[in-house]
Structure 1
Amino acid sequence: ASRCIRFGSHSSAVYGVAWSPKGNLVASAGHDRSVKIWEPKVRGVSGEFAAHSKPVRSIDVDPTGQMMLTASDDKSVKIWRVAKRQFLSSFSQQTNWVRAAKFSPNGKMIATVSDDKSLRIYDVNTGECTRTITEERGAPRQVAWHPWGNMVAVALGCNRIKIFDVGGSQLLQLYVVHSAPVNDVAFHSSGNFLLSGSDDCTIRVLDLLEGRPIYTLTGHTAAVNAVGFSQDGEKFATGGNDRQLLVWQSNLHTYDASQFEAKSALLSSSCDTSVASVYQQSNASSTALSNDHSIRIDMRESHAYNILDENFQVLDSEHTKLPETPKSASKSSSVGQPKAMLSHAKLVSKELDFKPRSTSPRFF
């Protein structure tokens, strides 16, 4: 069984949504240049304001739930106080559209990616840009923080995924596992796995401890625009141009880094179409946004479908494994390389009609 709460106050496409840490508020942003604050229990808009002079591409809430972050086509990134709907500060070093902006896990830093081909790291307290990394081959489309807060994954329009060390701007891992631009990336809560979605219609599961991709999932029939893990890592959701929101059950074996010999930190992104963003607050709910100007919060309780293990492809990866780094006191250098495996995944719910193709995945 499932139930859906629909909000439809935006006048055009919704590009981003974010939950507050307590789950009592949802913030949304879109092409109409506005930001809206929703209370699902009240089922109405509790606050709205004109945030930018051009469409707002991304929205995020800090770990305390007190601050909100927006990124826009007006080339700026802004911080707001949630309770008072108050503007606090702006970061305007970007010279083109800002695709995404994300708070670090401790809320002290911000990572932004822009069509000026830059990845920038900002200090929230000082407003200073502490790191700038410029891509040569393609503009970054999305960015995600590692749970430890010392690394970020960047999804690139040139079909690559890169992991950078935030402190030293060092490239830690490079993956070339898609045949088209990468639209989104998401870390597993353990930090051991990375999920990616691409214009090539596939979802990839990357084992970061092994430094290699382990599976490709082919449930979508069009570009995959958004991917996201639940907080406990037991499920992940994907959305794409085929107007589908798919929720998957994954059995990912996680490991405690202390169990293994210390070696290097081997760590290997957004079309604004039908499903442009996916965010999961908990096991029970996921939020999807769409070009029909609406936001849907879907509460799922039953497992609908299973995907057979044999339908997953194990990839012969094309990626660069960088030299090992010396052992240090940081978590990033205390990661071993166990043989982590994805035992199986199951599609547990779906949005809209799903028409299985004759090829994988199959349902029973």
Structure 2
Amino acid sequence: MAGLRQTPLTCSGHTRPVVDLSFSNVTPFGYFLISACKDGKPMLRQGDTGDWIGTFEGHKGAVWGATLNNEATRAATGAADFTAKVWDAEKGEELHSFSHKHIVKSVNFSNDSHYLLTGSNEKLLRIFDLQKPDAEPKVFAGHTSNIKAVHFNKECNQVISAADDKTVRIWDVNTAKEIHQIELPSAPGSLELTSDGSILTVTYGHFTAFYNAESFEKIKEIKAPAPINTASLHPSKNFFVCGGEDFKMYKFDYFTGAEIESFKGHFGPVHCVGFSPDGELYASGSEDGTLRLWQTTVGTTYGLWKCVAPDIDNGDITTSASSSSTATSTSGNSSSVIKVEA
């Protein structure tokens, strides 16, 4: 499939910048994707096609963070209305609303979905017990500026946070004390933990950096041509994608740091990106108000992308390397035909 042009599926529906996204694990019904947007209306979609499933109605301000639990039965959102909300992702109903004293920027479930972690502009992290929603949360204090991203580690005995104070901090869940701090040369744009819990991916300035998630030692950092807001490491750990201020999506070889490809699809800075749990596609959200799905391997049949074998006998192509692929997207209640050609 060499020579095919990367053409993303565009998931419309949002009316303002898309600032966060998250995939569920693979479930018996496939996998799912949630997006956070400044329009205050987080949306749930089928992960492999981008087809709209529903919108969570209830926030009264921009939604900055959104996540799904592993089974896609629960969703959580954090917003500018100073609340974090937990939703029944199957029925769309609000289950809990947790008040904060400032904007909630990031939310994350524990692996068993019993706890919700939040990070806010109060410079505090909180863990809420979802089995005892009326109980006081556990509070983690130490950051000196707005918290941008939070994450449980794989064992859920530690939490990781990234903030505008140019640090990534690791905290002990039992004691609520900081146990390690990574200092960065500039404020981080994003924080990601691989599904196996082994590597932290952090972006800052023009760089995407990777850290051992147990020792917290830096493994490497790779520079991009433009300031980078977000990055995601493929489940295979062979390459990663990133995007930022120049509207482009970049793919880099994880081992050599070489740029594999770059392409422009968005019409504004890229704010968030993440790979699907099977690694077949990745989603990106942008200032342009759209969520886009990109093929990891262009030209394969997957989701709404349909690879059509060329008819060589009828002269459809002149070389055996040429091919075409078409797909129809119905995301966001709109329909479009996408064609990928050599």
Q: Given the superposition, is the C-alpha separation of residues 235 and 148 from structure 1 closer, same or farther in structure 2, using an over 3 Å criterion?
A: farther
3-state DSSP of counterpart to 2:35: strand
Q: Counterpart of 1:277 in structure 2: which amino acid?
A: C
Cross-structure match for 2:23: 19
Match of 1:113 in 2: 119
- Call closer, same or farther: CA 1:231–1:51 in 2, change over 3 Å: farther
**Match of 1:74, SS?**
coil
Alpha-carbon distance between aligned partners in 2 of 1:283 and 1:299, rounded to the nearest angstrom: 9
Taking the aligned partners of 2:187 and 2:146, their CA distance within structure 1 comes to 10
Q: Specify the alignment match of 1:69 in structure 2.
A: 76
Alignment CA distance shift 1:244-1:88 (3 Å)? same
Corresponding position of 1:39: 46
**Tell me, which stretches of 5 or more residues in structure 1 are unaligned?**
253-272, 304-364
* Aligned equivalents of 2:220, 2:40: Cα separation in 1: 38
Q: Distance in 1 between matches of 2:153 and 2:80?
A: 26
Alignment-derived partner of residue 327 in structure 1: none
- Name the CA distance, whole Å, in 1 between partners of 2:194 and 2:43: 28
The aligned residue for residue 88 of structure 1 is 95
What amino acid sits opposite 1:274 in the alignment?
Answer: P
| Contact 1:120–1:129 (8 Å) recurs in 2 | no
Instruction: Find out whether 1:279 has 2:274 as its counterpart.
Output: yes
TM-score in terms of structure 2 length:
0.75
Tell me how far apart the structure 2 counterparts of residues 41 and 190 of structure 1 sit (CA, whole Å): 21
Q: How many residues align?
A: 279
For 1:82-231, what aligned pairs fall within 5 Å after superposition? Answer: 82-92=89-99, 94-127=100-133, 128-176=135-183, 178-198=184-204, 200-222=205-227, 224-231=228-235
Q: Partners in 2 of 1:182 and 1:236 — Cα distance? A: 17
Aligned partners of 1:106 and 1:149 also within 8 Å:
no
Query: Could you say which structure has the greater relative contact order, defined with CA pairs below 8 angstroms and 6 or more residues apart?
Result: 2
Partner of 1:256: none
User: What secondary structure, in the 3-state scheme, does the structure 1 residue paired with 2:191 have?
Assistant: strand
Tell me, in whole angstroms, the C-alpha distance in 2 between the residues paired with 1:186 and 1:214. 15
1:219-253 Cα distance to aligned partner (Å, 9 max, x none): 1412x22233334444433222222222334359x
Asked whether the equivalents of residues 143 and 185 of structure 1 are also in contact (C-alpha less than 8 Å), the reply is yes
1:170: how far off? 2.5
Check whether the contact 2:201–2:210 (CA below 8 A) recurs between aligned residues: yes
Structure 1 residue corresponding to 2:284, chosen from 270, 281, 288 = 288
Query: Letter of the aligned partner of 2:35 in structure 1?
Result: S
Q: Work out the CA distance in 1 between the residues paired with 2:41 and 2:246.
A: 26
Identity over aligned pairs, percent: 18
Corresponding residue number in structure 1 for 2:242: 238
SS at 1:99 equivalent: strand
Task: Name stretches of at least 5 consecutive residues in structure 2 with no aligned partner.
Answer: 257-267, 300-342
The answer to whether the Cα contact below 8 Å between 1:189 and 1:232 also exists between their aligned partners in 2 is no
For normalisation by structure 1, the TM-score amounts to 0.71
Q: Distance in 2 between matches of 1:184 and 1:56?
A: 16
Tell me, in whole angstroms, the C-alpha distance in 2 between the residues paired with 1:80 and 1:209. Answer: 32
Distance verdict in 2 for CA 1:274–1:129, change over 3 Å: farther
1:274, 1:86 → 2: CA distance? 32
In terms of mean alpha carbon deviation, does 228-237 or 47-56 score higher? Answer: 228-237
Deviation at 1:301, TM superposition (A): 1.1
Seen in structure 2, the aligned counterparts of structure 1 residues 290 and 211 have a Cα distance that, compared at 3 Å, is closer
Name whichever structure is richer in strand by fraction.
Answer: 2
In the alignment, the residues of structure 1 paired with residue 232 and residue 251 of structure 2 have an alpha-carbon distance, to the nearest angstrom, of: 9
Once the two structures are superposed, the pairs formed by residues 4-15 of structure 1 within 5 Å of their partners are 4-15=8-19
Q: Which residue of 1 aligns with 2:322?
A: none
